[in-house]
Amino acid sequence: MRVPTLAPAYVGGVQLIAYATRRLLGDRARQDLLRSCSTNVDNLAAGRYSTLATSALLVESPMELPYALLLLAVLGYAEYAHGAWWAAGVFLFGHAGATLLVYGALRAGRPSAATRSALDVGTSYGFYAVLGALTSALPRGPVRGCARLGLLALAARPLLRPGRTFTDAGHFTALGLGLGVSAAVDYRSVRNR
Q: Is the pTM of this model over 0.75?
A: yes
pLDDT score of 56? 95
The DSSP element (H or E) to which 33 belongs, if any, is helix 27-36
* Of residues 150, 5, 148, the one with CA closest to residue 75: 5
pLDDT digits (tens, 9 = 90+) for 147-156: 999 999 999 9
pLDDT score of 193? 62
Distance of CA 5 to the CA centre of its chain: 19
Q: CA–CA separation, 70 vs 33, rounded Å?
A: 26
Which range, of 88-92, 117-121, 182-186, averages the lowest pLDDT? 182-186
| Confidence tier at 98 by pLDDT (50, 70, 90) | very high
pLDDT score of 39? 94
180-183: long-range contacts, CB 8 A cutoff, minimum separation 24: 180/132, 181/90, 181/93, 181/129, 181/132, 181/133, 181/136, 182/132, 182/133, 182/134, 182/135, 182/136, 182/148, 183/136
Reply yes or no on whether the pLDDT at 131 is more than 80. yes
pLDDT score of 115? 87
pLDDT digits (tens, 9 = 90+) for 1-48: 678 899 999 999 999 999 999 999 989 999 999 999 999 999 999 999
pLDDT score of 126? 97
* Of residues 151, 155, 12, 132, the one with CA closest to residue 72: 12
